[in-house]
Amino acid sequence: MLGLSEEFVDESCPKDLEPYDTAHNMWRKEQDEIAWTYGIYVKSALESVLGTAFGKGKVTYLEQSIMAEMSKYEGLTQEEIDEIEINKMIANDLRWSEQQKNYGMKEAEV
């Protein structure tokens, strides 16, 4: 556990070990977030390579890093961020709908 000696652990009470446990849990969370972030980069790379290879059009890799994407919202309220994200979803939905029309799919009846 974080390089603590067995003797130190044996001689300590649980309350003494709480800060080390907290630090270990923080380290594990950080490692998990790093792995997750790398997964996003790998997924994007595979999508761009395979999408282009199998003729799905030009599929591009991430335009900017994840941290750059996150920092663009600095200084905005949560309401403003939500509005931006909703507009992105609407735009994606419209693009998808247009692609389906181009492939000859009928529009869903409401």
Secondary structure string (H, E, C) spanning the chain: CCCCCHHHHHHCCHHHHHHHHHHHHHHHHHHHHHHHHHHHHHHHHHHHHHHHHCCCCCCCCCCCCHHHHHHCCCCCCHHHHHHHHHHHHHHHHHHHHHHHHHCCCCCCCC
pLDDT digits (tens, 9 = 90+) for 47-84: 888 887 887 777 778 777 777 777 788 888 989 988 99
* Rounded percentage of the chain residues whose pLDDT exceeds 90: 8
Q: Give the residue, 25 or 106, on which the prediction is more confident.
A: 25
Q: How confident is the model at residue 87 (pLDDT cuts 50, 70, 90)?
A: very high
Task: For residues 2-21, give the mean pLDDT.
Answer: 85
What does the mean pLDDT of the chain come to? 83
CB 24 within 8 A of CB 3: no
pTM, two decimals, is 0.47
Rounded to 10 degrees, the C-alpha dihedral 58/64/66/69 comes to -110
Task: For residues 31-36, give the mean pLDDT.
Answer: 88
Question: Is the model's pLDDT at 4 over the cut of 90?
Answer: no
